Amino acid sequence: LWKPFNKSLMTGKIPSNWKDATIVPLFKKGDKNYRPISLTSTACKVLKKIIKKIIVNNLAKNNIIHKSQHGFMERL
């Protein structure tokens, strides 16, 4: 998987089949109470985590993120 990941990072493009999602109804309490969830490609999820880590590390390294920001930061 490293080659497609590296290519995506270099070109800024994601393979089209990684963008496909299957929408499945998930039952919640109550009559006729369903909510849709999207099942996406595992490869795409991994790539998103890699990109997020690169961005967050860059923001933290350059002191762009305020110290009180915890919303998307990894827990220590």
pLDDT given at position 76: 44
Number of domains in the chain: 1
Answer whether residue 72 is part of any domain. no
pLDDT, tens digit, 9 for 90 and up, residues 4-32: 889 998 999 999 999 899 999 999 887 77
Q: What is the dihedral of CA 21, 58, 12, 23, to 10 degrees?
A: 10
Answer whether residue 73 is part of any domain. no
One-letter amino acid of 17: N
Answer whether residue 11 is part of any domain. yes
As a whole number of angstroms, the distance between CA 54 and CA 14 comes to: 16
Residue 43 pLDDT greater than 60, yes or no: yes
Segments forming the whole domain that contains residue 34: 2-61
Answer whether residue 48 is part of any domain. yes
pTM strictly above 0.85: no
Answer whether residue 56 is part of any domain. yes
Answer whether residue 19 is part of any domain. yes
DSSP code for 74: P
Confidence at 75, pLDDT banded by 50, 70, 90: low
As a whole number of angstroms, the distance between CA 2 and CA 10 comes to: 12
